[in-house]
Amino acid sequence: MRELSDVDVVGVVGAGTMGNGIAQVAATAGYEVVMRDIEDEYVERGLDSVDDSLGRLASKGALDEEPAAIRDRIAGTTDLNDLADADVVVEAAAEEMDVKRDVFADLDEVTDGDVALATNTSTLSITTIASATDRAGDVIGLHFMNPVPIMDGVEVVVGERTADAVTEFAHAFAADLGKETWESDDKPGFVTNRILMPWINEGVRAFDEGVADKADIDRGMKLGTNVPMGPLELADHIGLDVVLDASETLHDELGDRYKPAYLVKRKVEAGDLGKKTGRGFYEYGDE
């Protein structure tokens, strides 16, 4: 197992919202980053998102160096073999077990045997993902929160066979990226989504059943519990498709208390996914 002091290059699999955010914070922390996705257009879109995010942070005086210097530390690729020199890899591909297992089977072949392999999954079993490799002890969950450059937390999820040294490394690596960590066993939903998904779905049901209008539900939860966003606002921020996928996974694993709210399903079917599509429970401009 490599020590944190041995890490120079961070590999990221996936250039979407989570992947490019992870690449950005790693580059901001001084690491060289190789970000891989399956199509050139996805890679370019991810790099453009990093440019936009760095520009916004720079305009707020939130960076210690020029955005261009950070951006220059991120290389994009469609070739997984380009991660061969990575000292740690974080996977942020689609939230589908078959996809993640395929990625980890390939990473097992491409990377050195002393490289930690982390998955950014928010609900799927670390142990099942790790079983696609011959080195389950090196596999761990690093569940970053969205948006990655802004949110301070990372959930460290320990699989059945994750080595203690890898768990210690994961906490140290996240801290070096400027994040605070908490640890969860490899149980469905981990800490965050196990508690968060029922909260969001119950807020949606309260709105759908006429308990209060959406603004008062969100306002009541913010003022009554001191959270920064109410359940409907947060659902729009996360993405209603992501909420639905996570809720359905937990429903399959844990039963009816995790059943997705009907109105979430209806909005996803309509293509109203929240802020990323401009409409969810609320409507959004050009944010």
What pLDDT, on the 0 to 100 scale, is given for residue 2?
78
Q: Annotation-wise, does 17 bind a ligand?
A: yes
Kindly list the catalytic residues: 122, 143, 155, 193
Q: Do domains 4-185 and 192-277 have the same CATH topology?
A: no
Q: Annotation-wise, does 276 bind a ligand?
A: yes
Homologous superfamily of domain range 4-185: NAD(P)-binding Rossmann-like Domain (3.40.50.720)
**Other Cβ atoms within 10 Å of 30 Cβ, number:** 12
Asked if residue 280 lies in contact with residue 272, where contact means CB atoms within 8 angstroms, the answer is yes
Cis peptide before 147 (omega within 30 of 0): yes
Q: What is the pTM of this model?
A: 0.92
The two three-digit tokens of residue 144, written as one number: 């970053």
What pLDDT, on the 0 to 100 scale, is given for residue 286?
59
Q: Annotation-wise, does 14 bind a ligand?
A: yes
What's the longest Cα–Cα distance across the chain?
A: 56
Q: Annotation-wise, does 121 bind a ligand?
A: no
**Which CATH number is associated with domain 192-277?**
1.10.1040.10
Q: Annotation-wise, does 189 bind a ligand?
A: no
What tens-digit pLDDT sequence spans the chain (287 residues)?
Answer: 778 999 999 999 999 999 999 999 999 999 999 999 999 999 999 999 999 999 999 999 999 999 999 999 999 999 999 999 999 999 999 999 999 999 999 999 999 999 999 999 999 999 999 999 999 999 999 999 988 999 999 999 999 999 999 999 999 999 999 999 999 999 999 999 999 999 999 999 999 999 999 999 999 999 999 999 999 999 999 999 999 999 999 999 999 999 999 999 999 999 999 999 999 999 998 55
Q: Annotation-wise, does 46 bind a ligand?
A: no
What pLDDT, on the 0 to 100 scale, is given for residue 252?
94
What pLDDT, on the 0 to 100 scale, is given for residue 163?
98
Q: Annotation-wise, does 146 bind a ligand?
A: yes
Report domain extents, the chain.
4-185, 192-277
